[in-house]
Chain A
């Protein structure tokens, strides 16, 4: 959709190198690009204004002007400034020294509070804590049922008293229960409310007063636009929230709202919700978010994900095989399964830097069913065929196609692409990066084949 900022900056500043010096007008045009990119990412207009002013001053500094690659320098500075604006490294929740830690969740309607509550419960569950939820959204039809169901999935106890009780009373009662039942954590779900709705905001203030939470979290939709600032300011005033949960970060929104909220309220983003499943919930990394806003990819998260899923020794062995060109369809199958464990491929591609620029790849949105088909084809081969795809002749192709419920043509194509990939892997394993054209050849052509996982360096 939008070119990556880093590339736009590079091209804006590319001719500077030949002249050897960065002029003020070069910096101005770079700032224009940055301003546009940040606005497209939904960073608040006023934040953008202040930010580009600071940036400009730094970029006019002598070390940038005289550096060999000013474009690269400017990108680096932008990245640093963004990360520091977002709060440097991650922050932590405050936990109770004794008794249950109370966490109050608040936000606009549809920002994803109920889901975030359940996900947070699951997050604490994984740490071995006894978690309970309090259902204080008595307004939205079936909100209580939703929390009961989702809380159950997370393995958390849900305190609910239907929709007739007063939310402040439910919260107070739930806290008493949590105390006497010696829960470790109590997460209080509240109804979505508009920040200008005085009655409901007063109610939220009351829940806060009665339950004296250790942490108040504001749930913010990553797709929020310019209004994020106004919303955050109002909630900060009434609920004095301590941190933010960003939701729906699995979409393609750049999430500039995160930056705006942090810049205006000074409160850190603590958690990120990144998918439909209850375990798609993680601590937030400000530096990585900065890169996302700039469209620079999120290599760190990718590597982390890969590390969780991929066995170190196995990865070594595979790499050796790639180098020696002994990579078989069996290895390919194994790898594909590992990569798919990391989540939907479209998400993984988004984390790779430079992918935004490759139009062919971006449009070739990965069809998971296609991958199922590829798996079926390989599984229909004999071990000999998997080790040596050269064996596969016409009649074998027919058998494989029948066995996997696909067409002979698909089998043929898969083998052909596997051959291409093997060449590519060999060069990658030997330290050469593939050209975008090579990558696109693999991804394009109707048949989508997953690429090997990102190599760790």
Chain B
């Protein structure tokens, strides 16, 4: 992967001294696991997209465009974005801007897809002290797990001190789940009673972070369907509570989108964005056969970039998003 954690996180004036040291100490064994996972991943992808990958651009005619359309639709890119991408490529080929050559057309397609994914890309802003990161999303998209992994990377790899706020006070055992992650990451956990006010938990966590001079506060929130306006209002309130303590916080709000999500993902991103100003998407569960094309639709329609992707169960499997790599994977290199 071309993009590293250090590149995608803006630490401001902080000197992540401990980070480099930890990085260098990364055991060989871990790298081995990493490589194996990557291989198994690309294998499953390849098998599924074989039909379009190798021979698609051998001969270029109407059928080519139809098959390409089909491939993108099957990746959940959605009809409007698919049409835009295919039309653009078709036009460029017909006008001669792109030579009628399989490799050239394919490369251009990957470029176009990467351009779509690249909208408004910015690092994860953790320059403030303390920086507040809030995680939102519908139920079951992997918020708590993602937060656990982010905390681990920030704490173990970059040497930042992290406070986690278990502001999901609704789902049974959500705080216990986060507690396990906090232990793994060496982060401090602030939690409230079950069914207590999530805003109060966020408030306490920020106070705790300030008192201890912590670098980052990560706020977990309860999963909610974007159609439940009362729950969306509750989320906006959590944000307001945070804002009252630190006027420009949360500095980074991420929405987790399950890669298996279909066209409804666009609605999710839009409605959450209206409630809490989402800065980026974490595309989770990309280790299955789903290709998460909805992320392209979100980037193209709403201009919200993907910042992180989850490609497996282990800690290293949460990674910075790389548009070009993703575009290639979408078509199975």
Binding site for B on A (CB under 8 A): 1, 36, 39-42, 44-45, 108-112, 140-143, 145-146, 149-150, 194-196, 221, 223-228, 230-231, 248, 250-254, 256-257, 276, 344, 346-347, 365-369
Query: Considering the complex, which residues of chain B in the window 277-305 have a beta carbon less than 8 Å from any beta carbon of chain A?
Result: 285, 287-291, 293-294
9 contacts between A and B (CB under 8 A): A42-B262, A42-B264, A112-B139, A230-B289, A251-B226, A253-B267, A276-B228, A276-B231, A368-B229
B228 touches A224 (CB 8 A): no
Verify B229–A196 contact, CB threshold 8 A: no
Fill in one digit per residue for B197-239: 1 if any A CB lies within 8 Å of its CB, else 0. 0000000000000000000000000000111111101000000
Is B265 in the interface zone, CB < 8 Å from A?
yes
User: Are A40 and B180 also in contact (CB < 8 A) when A110-B139, A346-B229 are?
Assistant: no
A223 near B177: Cβ-Cβ < 8 Å: no
B 62-98 to A, binary, CB cutoff 8 A, 1 in contact else 0: 0000000010011110110000000000000000000
In the complex where A36-B79, A225-B260, A344-B228 touch, is A141 in contact with B177 (Cβ < 8 A)? yes
B258 contacts the other chain (CB 8 A):
yes
The chain A residue sitting closest to B176, CB to CB, is A142
Tell which of B10-18, B52-60, B166-174 binds the partner.
B166-174
Nearest residue, chain A, Cβ from B148: A141
Residues of B within 8 A of A42 (CB): 76, 262-264
Q: How far is the CA of A25 from the CA of B180 in the complex (A)?
A: 61
Residues in chain A near residue B4, CB distance under 8 A: none
**Chain A hits for B48, CB < 8 A:** 230
B265 touches A45 (CB 8 A): no
Contact with B173, one of A146, A223, A224, A365 (Cβ below 8 angstroms): A146
Contact A248 B139, beta carbon cutoff 8 Å: yes
Tell me whether B227 and A252 are in contact (CB under 8 A).
Answer: yes
Residue of A44, A225, A252 near B290 (CB, 8 A) is: A225
B140 at the interface (CB under 8 A from A): yes
B260 touching A40, Cβ below 8 Å: no
A252 pairs with B264, CB closer than 8 A: yes
Which chain B residues lie closer than 8 Å to A112 at the CB level?
139-140
Measured CB to CB, the nearest residue on chain B to A229 is B74
Determine whether B152 belongs to the interface, using a CB cutoff of 8 Å to chain A. no
B250 is an interface residue with CB less than 8 A from chain A: no
Q: A111, A112, A141, A221: which has the most chain B beta carbons within 10 Å?
A: A141
- Is B141 among interface residues, defined by CB-CB distance under 8 A? yes
B262–A142 contact, CB under 8 A? no
Task: Give the docked Cα–Cα distance between A42 and B79 (Å).
Answer: 10
A225 to chain B, nearest CB (A): 3
Q: Which residue of A lies closest to B226 (CB)?
A: A251
Cross-interface CB contact of A150 among B78, B172, B268, B293, cutoff 8 Å: B172
Closest CB in chain B relative to A59 CB, distance in Å:
21
Q: Are A108 and B288 closer than 8 Å at their CB atoms?
A: yes
Cross-chain contact of A227 among B73, B76, B180 (Cβ < 8 A): B76
Decide: A365 near B229, CB < 8 A? Known: A45-B70, A110-B141, A224-B262: yes
Binding site for A on B (CB under 8 A): 44, 48, 70, 73-76, 78-79, 138-142, 170-174, 176-177, 179-181, 225-231, 233, 258, 260-265, 267-268, 285, 287-291, 293-294
- Chain B residues with CB under 8 Å of A228's CB are 260, 262
Chain A residues whose C-beta falls within 8 Å of the C-beta of B174 in the assembled complex: 142, 146
Say yes or no: A110-B176 contact (C-beta < 8 A), given A45-B74, A226-B75, A227-B288.
Answer: no
Q: Which of the residues B138, B140, B229, B261 comes within 8 Å of A225, measured between beta carbons?
A: B261
Please give the distance in Å from A17's CB to the nearest CB on chain B. Answer: 28
Residues of B with C-beta under 8 A to A252: 226-227, 264, 267
Give the chain B neighbours of A256 by CB distance below 8 A.
262
A40-B79, A248-B139 are known contacts. Are A221 and B229 too (CB-CB below 8 A)?
no
In the complex, the answer to whether A110 meets B289 with C-beta atoms within 8 Å is no
Cβ contact within 8 Å between B285 and A109:
yes
Q: Are B288 and A195 touching (Cβ within 8 A)?
A: yes
Q: Which residues of A lie under 8 Å from residue B285 when comparing CB positions? A: 108-110, 194
B226 engages A231 (CB within 8 Å)? no
Nearest first, the 6 A-B pairs at minimum CB distance are A225-B262, A110-B140, A42-B262, A149-B172, A145-B173, A141-B180
Q: When A196-B44, A196-B289 are in contact, do A110 and B172 touch as well, CB less than 8 Å?
A: no
B residues near A196, Cβ cutoff 8 Å: 44, 288-289
CA distance A143 to B173 in the complex (A): 7
CA distance A225 to B297 in the complex (A): 13
CB-CB under 8 A from B291, the residues of chain A are 227
With beta carbons under 8 angstroms apart, the residue of A40, A224, A276 that contacts B261 is A224
A141–B183 Cα gap in the complex (Å)? Answer: 12
Of the listed residues A41, A223, A224, A344, the one surrounded by the most CB atoms of chain B closer than 10 A to its CB is A223
Tell me, in angstroms, the Cα distance from A141 to B79 when the chains sit together: 38
When chains A and B are docked, how far (Å) is the Cα of A346 from the Cα of B44? 41
- CB-CB under 8 A from A227, the residues of chain B are 76, 260, 288-291
- By a CB distance below 8 angstroms, the chain B residues around A143 are 173, 177
Q: Choose from B74, B139, B229 the contact partner of A366 (Cβ within 8 Å).
A: B229
B258 contact from A110, A226, A368, Cβ within 8 A: A110
Q: Which of A40, A44, A149, A221 contacts B263 (CB 8 A)?
A: A40
Pick the residue among A194, A195, A251, A368 that contacts B138 (CB under 8 A): A251
Interchain nearest-CB distance for B40 vs A (Å): 9
A344's partner among B176, B230, B262 (CB-CB below 8 A) is B230
List, in ascending order, chain B residues with CB within 8 A of A195's CB. 288-289
Rounded to whole angstroms, the CA-CA distance of A145 and B230 in the bound complex is 27
What is the CA–CA distance of A317 and B39 in the complex, to the nearest angstrom? 70
